[in-house]
Structure 1
């Protein structure tokens, strides 16, 4: 059987646009001889729609789009993800996460998702009622076992057993010739390898081919990486789709195929995820250009490089905003970076403004020594000027802070945190260096002087990050255990880290939740980002 895989980039709520993308992909698969075409989870809707689902006209418009799409489909069926109503007479949630088999101008079958995740970034129990039973679809002499995303995830790949049902086993026990999975599985570092291993094991255990079609593109904080898969029970994964881009591919399950080997370089995957995340956020929110502050540091340099790759250098406007404490090297590095990237960079001095603000506040601060207040003045002056440029020119302002800084509050609210998208806010500082060095593997994109110099906010004389923070290798290792793996202080200390340092970091993370909840949305690239997948109270007294 020749299966067409339509790995498309859907936009949440854009039913006409998504239907057009689906039809284009469907027809491309027909041209390649497909006998059936599979698409991602909620490919007609965009994932995740969140509380848009609750708007009174949302699901009716989705069903109108489904009817239109069905009318355009011929003999070769299209399997499409959408949202349906639950039967009003049935108890439970009002909607179903669904897939429809379209053929000959009609909806031939409807399938409901069985396992509804409510962990990490997922909240499907809020909206959807699960399927009561799993049954194969009979289609031209074949029994198709249709599953939707979580339905195929096995207990071995979840943190603990979450469900008392196994849709794959139910379908296999009922007899299927092939398992199909419509997925919207978001990216984080290491996720593509996990999926590939899991799909291979499902195919082996089920004894039938598995075709897995994943979404690609970014919606808000989530990036979907594609990497659609085909696995055979006796040969493992025999096809893996391209990552981070739309694609169509027809795979002949009866043709000789050999297992595929994929080289997964972490820096390359992080780079592609950030580029796609920024590009889609800008495009889907209706912007065409961005601006950002260029400090001469590595974080703003990487953010600018991502923006230039995503949008083209002509759509990126940088400002270097030196204060009395900015080094000449930082300004020079910003200008060299701009030239390397082909972006605009203007210099705007803030020393005079800073002096005036201090003079204005002097009567109120009389007798008090300068401290972090004056440091934050500089960041907030820069935020004011960058927001002015954003307003006047219609640019989306990008913030440039990394995950390590955001975790411990090493950032200024209403200052360097001003902006509409926090591009690298889920990238720890050590990963920032890793991606920058990878980016310079063939030529200097980011000035080596930027990479090699000690990191500094340059808000007071001779300031260095390590004046107040531990070495980033240590900080990031502790943050990974505390934030991503949710280890206790005692568990982190048992791993060999100094107790006083661990408690200091833990307290800084907890105390700065109020800042993070006012931060711009960021692009998720690790297993636990600050954002929709981490819901912490601001007012709390738990220490552990």
Structure 2
């Protein structure tokens, strides 16, 4: 039996368009001789539909679209489609109103419905908000082949692999006990760095443990802050990769199930990315491309400061949308260095994008004049520095409004973590492209990008980072060196290490204390930031659920930092750029 894997890029809520994608994949599958077509989790509505699922008319329309799709599909092809199914017993049992489901469509009808058994509630997932878990092992028979059906999280509970169980049941083990010939998994698994390789390692363990061939199909594309990498694949009973679809692209792959051997034969295996920098680059390019497309933007605008962050965002935008659709705006102030302008212009030339220069010196003077009486007898400080950023933010928003462009903000994760950014200034935007990329990784990706030819100007990568909001300013006037800062943030945010553990790892307790307090104080800024593309397992997005008004600080009573040593500028950590 030939099985086709449709790695699709649905748009959330576009039921007719998503159904058409499935139909087109089915027609292509018939041409290559497939008997069964697999599509991702919730392929009919797109993942994650979130509170659209609370709208009864949306659920009803999905059901009607599914029935019509069944009638439209080629009659001799069986198709597994991701959808939702009403829970008709919820009024009796008190359960949720819906099941996260897979429908088996064949010969013009909905033949069977299978329910997702494990419902995740960690990170970006909140499936218990909408769905009731299925209680039965799912399988069907097609041409005398018994095929077990699992949905995304159903694969992620192998206690031997994890060393623990997160749920009371393991759907893979249940299917193995039933003696199915093949297990398929229909997923919408969001991307994070290194996750494609991790999935393959995890499923290799399951294939070997249960002696089951497994086909894994994943959604591709970007929906809001989530990126889906695709990289669908198949494993034989020996845990060997027999098929791998392309990453970050729609694809239709095929794999052959040998009935005599009850195993999958070797098919096309697309190579994975050679480096994590390349993988993240591809993810971010897809994220920008899809966010613009699905939000109906064709052009983007961003500020070019001459720094590394805006340089990387401009390069990503150019790769995603084409050089003709990117506008870079230079907004020098009296504090801007000459190389800031020349580096930004050099970047624009390398990328082939349009650039324009809007000096802000006169606008700064206007603000100074308007605030002169109110600010009299006070020292120049953070408030005045941030006027520059807010002027730039206003200019960029004006351009975006005037021409219908999407404004891309350029702040990195290190800055977002500690609040080294300005509300209503450099945080303005419709999409924060690198908000989940630490500063040290920004440099790593830029060096990878320059591996063959110079795209990011050399001086951008070698000069000291600076916001240039006052004479001679560099980031390290206010922050630890980024290598130190990023390691502390990794330990704190991703590893959930205590202050004592971070200090034991070799960090100065005064710096650790200061960084932790800055992270806590900056929460209200992050809540007002544009959506940021997620590329780690702990992003400041839908999976980050910290309170704004809170008196808890992780380091409380553990260490105290010397204000004389770090200065009084800590007031800025809770308000503006530090």
The interval holding the TM-score normalised by the smaller chain is over 0.9
Give the distance between the partners of 1:463 and 1:327, measured in 2 at CA. Answer: 10
The 1:135–1:329 alpha-carbon spacing in structure 2 relative to 1, beyond 3 Å, is closer
CA contact (8 A) 1:94 1:129 kept: yes
Shifted more, 263-272 versus 522-531: the winner is 263-272
CA contact (8 A) 1:186 1:225 kept: yes
Runs of at least 5 residues in structure 2 that lack an aligned partner in the other structure: 259-263, 555-578
The count of corresponding residues between Structure 1 and Structure 2 is 544
Deviation track 1:224-255 (CA, whole Å, cap 9, x = no partner) reads 00000100112522222111000001111337
Give the distance between the partners of 1:90 and 1:197, measured in 2 at CA. Answer: 42
CA RMSD of aligned residues (A): 1.4
Residue 257 (1) aligns with residue 295 (2): no
Counterpart of 2:459 (choices 428, 449, 453) is 449
The 1:155–1:173 alpha-carbon spacing in structure 2 relative to 1, beyond 3 Å, is closer
For 1:217-366, what aligned pairs fall within 5 Å after superposition? 217-254=221-258, 256-257=265-266, 262-366=272-376
For 1:99-110, what aligned pairs fall within 5 Å after superposition? 99-110=102-113
SS at match of 1:97: strand
Give the distance between the partners of 1:322 and 1:259, measured in 2 at CA. Answer: 52
Please state how far the C-alpha of 1:48 moved relative to its aligned partner. 0.4
Please state how far the C-alpha of 1:49 moved relative to its aligned partner. 0.6
CA contact (8 A) 2:41 2:83 kept: yes
For 1:43-442, what aligned pairs fall within 5 Å after superposition? 43-73=43-73, 74-88=75-89, 89-91=91-93, 92-156=95-159, 161-254=165-258, 256-257=265-266, 262-442=272-452
SS at match of 2:146: strand
TM-score by length of 2: 0.92
Give the distance between the partners of 1:471 and 1:160, measured in 2 at CA. Answer: 38
Give the distance between the partners of 1:385 and 1:259, measured in 2 at CA. Answer: 50
Deviation track 1:491-518 (CA, whole Å, cap 9, x = no partner) reads 2112121111111111000000000000
SS at match of 1:374: helix
CA contact (8 A) 2:205 2:239 kept: no
Deviation track 1:428-484 (CA, whole Å, cap 9, x = no partner) reads 000100011111111111111111111000100011011111111111011011111
> Which ranges of 4 or more aligned residues in structure 1 deviate by more than 2 Å?
154-161, 253-264
Please state how far the C-alpha of 1:208 moved relative to its aligned partner. 2.0
The 1:160–1:465 alpha-carbon spacing in structure 2 relative to 1, beyond 3 Å, is farther
Deviation track 1:179-230 (CA, whole Å, cap 9, x = no partner) reads 0100000000010111001111111122121000000000000000000010
Please state how far the C-alpha of 1:90 moved relative to its aligned partner. 4.6
Please state how far the C-alpha of 1:154 moved relative to its aligned partner. 2.5
Please state how far the C-alpha of 1:158 moved relative to its aligned partner. 5.7
Please state how far the C-alpha of 1:76 moved relative to its aligned partner. 1.3
CA contact (8 A) 1:136 1:175 kept: no
TM-score by length of 1: 0.98
Runs of at least 5 residues in structure 1 that lack an aligned partner in the other structure: none
Q: Which residue of 1 aligns with 2:560?
A: none
